[in-house]
Every structure is written in C-alpha cells, then in structure tokens.
Amino acid sequence: MKCDGCAENVHKAFSALDGVEKVSVNLKKQEAKITGDVDDASFATALTGTHYSVVNVETK
C-alpha cells in the first residue's frame, strides 16, 4: 500500500467479509488487523481484484 486510497480499498475489502467485526489498516506498517470470525481463505479472496495479497495470517 502506498497511499491512503490504497489503505481504504483494503479496509473496504476486508470489511465486506461476513463475520468481520473490526478492521484496522496501518499504511506505515503495511498491515491490516481484522477482528471477527472469518475463514482464513476468505482474506485472500477478499483481495481479489486489488493489487494486494495476504502474506501472513495470525490467529489468536
């Protein structure tokens, strides 16, 4: 992500997933944190059509 618009696109993509409660995108750290009950495979699918990909999924 290189700009606020990019971060907003990622935020919208993840927010549209069923089960997502909260999305936080940090442009400087190049990361997104998602809270909710979402299948890991859904993250990659959410970014289809964007210029971004999922690098790492951490679950707690």
Taking the C-alpha atoms of residue 17 and residue 3, their distance in angstroms, rounded to an integer, is 22
pLDDT score of 40: 83
pLDDT score of 13: 93
Give me 46's structure tokens.
């959410």
Domain chopping of the chain, boundaries: 4-46
- In terms of Cα–Cα distance, which of 33, 32, 23 is closest to 52? 32
What does pTM read for this prediction? 0.84
pLDDT over 80 at 58, yes or no: no
- In terms of Cα–Cα distance, which of 17, 26, 18 is closest to 46? 17
CB 15 within 8 A of CB 23: yes
- DSSP 8-class letter at 23: E
